């Protein structure tokens, strides 16, 4: 239950608890809260646990330069750390960070890992049941792993062929496509959830976690099938917020392990990442001729420049670009075929390369 906000005192005393409460009042997503807290902790520890009120621009510059020169972090990582510290000083402490000057990270953002269609077929052949369905949704709908695991039964709309993503990255809602080939499997999965939920109700642990005080607004929703997770965990556990024993969704590490085993079994020599299926979804849509704006909306990107990275990994062969080596190979293949037809005791000079035409 890592994605459930832990309870903090109404009037916190500790510095980090006060900071977390400020983030929640500001409406930051829980993932953002955890990320910012992580980097602020590292900043404080780097400066020997000095209080942020006693620090300022020089300490921020020193820390960001350390990440670049000694930790060899990427541009994106340094930017995340900077955003966390800007929030800490500007929004929380009310101190402006003017004239920041630090060493910029040099390691650029890498191109995303993309599986080909044949590789995805091979990976899926080594999966079965709900595990296979999860990967099919990652690829078929372009979901992030956290978005997939947070899906509830009510988020699957068979009537409109949509999947509703609630509180995705940036705490935004969106819709994405529901692959028609997965309708039957999804209905079977919902039936599995129904049977498991009835068993949990009989055992007294059938109340599911609801965010944003929805449990108070809809008291009966915690026991309804519609609010149950589409991919529930195999075991129940205590909620970090209330201590109540309930069944949460599958843990991300379980999904990652299944994908690693399938990629290894398929003999694919690429990193085994759940996010690679989302990259493959976008790349294959682009190869099929869909415009960037449509792909941006399906992925939930706030800026189209983020979506444009897939233009660098798209299969250029489908765009009519033929390598000059392929042109040369056409001529070489013709020469090889001609050589095979010659008598073995007859030696001829090879045809000049400048006469080879594509």
Catalytic residue among 166, 169, 192, 223: 169
Catalytic residue among 20, 132, 246, 301: 301
Residue 278 a catalytic site member: yes
Catalytic residue among 134, 144, 174, 248: 144
d(CA 142, CA 303): 17
Residue 91 a catalytic site member: no
CB 277 within 8 A of CB 120: yes
CB 34 within 8 A of CB 16: no
Residue 169 a catalytic site member: yes
Catalytic residue among 174, 246, 278, 284: 278
CB 283 within 8 A of CB 275: no
Other beta carbons less than 10 A from residue 324's beta carbon: 8
Catalytic residue among 30, 87, 229, 310: 310
Residue 106 a catalytic site member: no
Residue 197 a catalytic site member: no
Residue 346 a catalytic site member: no
Cα→Cα distances 300→26, 107, 156, 268, 325, Å? 22, 26, 17, 29, 39
What residues are labeled active site? 144, 169, 275, 278, 301, 310
């Amino acid at each position: 239950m890592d994605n459930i906000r832990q309870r903090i005192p109404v009037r916190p005393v500790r510095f980090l608890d006060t900071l977390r409460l400020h983030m929640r009042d500001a409406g930051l997503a829980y993932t953002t809260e955890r990320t910012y807290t992580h980097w602020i902790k590292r900043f404080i520890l780097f400066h020997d646990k000095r209080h942020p009120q006693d620090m300022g621009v020089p300490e921020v510059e020193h820390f960001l330069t350390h990440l670049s020169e000694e930790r060899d972090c990427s541009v994106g990582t340094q930017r995340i750390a900077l955003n966390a510290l800007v929030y800490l000083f500007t929004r929380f402490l009310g101190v402006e960070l003017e004239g920041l000057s630090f060493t910029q990270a040099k390691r650029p953002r890498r191109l995303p890992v993309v599986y080909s269609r044949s590789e995805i077929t091979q990976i899926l052949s080594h999966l079965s049941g709900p595990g296979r369905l999860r990967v099919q949704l990652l690829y078929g709908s372009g979901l992030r792993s956290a978005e997939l695991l947070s899906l509830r039964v009510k988020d699957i709309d068979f009537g409109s062929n949509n999947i509703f993503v609630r509180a995705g990255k940036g705490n935004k809602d969106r819709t994405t496509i529901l692959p028609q080939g997965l309708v039957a499997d999804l209905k079977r999965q919902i039936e599995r959830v129904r049977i498991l939920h009835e068993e949990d109700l009989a055992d007294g642990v059938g109340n599911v976690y609801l965010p944003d005080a929805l449990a108070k607004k809809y008291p009966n929703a915690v026991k309804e099938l519609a609010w149950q997770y589409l991919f529930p965990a195999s075991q129940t556990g205590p909620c970090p917020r209330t201590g109540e024993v309930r069944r949460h969704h599958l843990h991300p590490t379980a999904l990652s392990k299944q994908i690693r085993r399938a990629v290894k079994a398929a003999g694919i020599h690429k990193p085994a990442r759940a996010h690679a299926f989302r990259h493959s979804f976008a790349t294959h849509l682009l190869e099929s001729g869909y415009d960037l704006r449509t792909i941006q909306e399906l992925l939930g990107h706030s800026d189209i420049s983020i979506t444009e990275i897939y233009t660098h990994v798209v299969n250029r062969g489908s765009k009519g670009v033929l390598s000059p080596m392929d042109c040369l190979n056409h001529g070489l293949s013709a020469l090889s075929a001609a050589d095979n037809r010659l008598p073995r005791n007859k030696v001829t000079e090879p045809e000049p390369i400048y006469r080879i035409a594509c």
